[in-house]
Amino acid sequence: MSFETLKSNFMDLTNDPVAVGFIAPGEANAHLVYVNKAFTLNFGFAPDDVIGKPVNVIHDPGSWQDFTARVSPFFRANKSTFNVETIMRGVDGNTFWASVSFIVYTDEDDEGRY
């Protein structure tokens, strides 16, 4: 199933905020490629504000290193699903705790991961 099919069939139907990042081989950080309507309502960012930006734009800068240290082992172990709690940041700069669920999807055509 393609990312476009997943997006149109499932991600816009949930009331949970969804943000999708993509990391290509050799890149240090993922970039946001999609946010759903619930994300916009909860975080305040319009899609044009964040699409194409590094994923850390929606994270608290003070906890970014801790966040990457906690998720990196899951990626190195090729885990396809995992959860972490972290501090996120809305468009107004306010921060809040959130439970982040990862569903890792490898794009065999682009050789990267969503």
Q: In the structure, what pLDDT confidence band is assigned to residue 28 with cuts at 50, 70 and 90?
A: confident
In tens, the pLDDT along 35-92 reads 999 999 999 999 999 999 999 999 999 999 999 999 999 989 999 999 999 999 999 9
Whether 50 and 58 have beta carbons less than 8 Å apart is answered as yes
Give, for 101, the enclosing helix (H) or strand (E).
Answer: strand 95-103
Whether 109 and 1 have beta carbons less than 8 Å apart is answered as no
Q: Identify the burial level of 82 via C-beta atoms within 10 angstroms of its C-beta, where 0-12 means exposed, 13-18 middle and 19 or more buried.
A: middle
**38 versus 5: which is more confidently predicted?**
38
How many other CB atoms are there within 10 angstroms of residue 49's CB atom? Answer: 16
Q: In the structure, what pLDDT confidence band is assigned to residue 29 with cuts at 50, 70 and 90?
A: confident
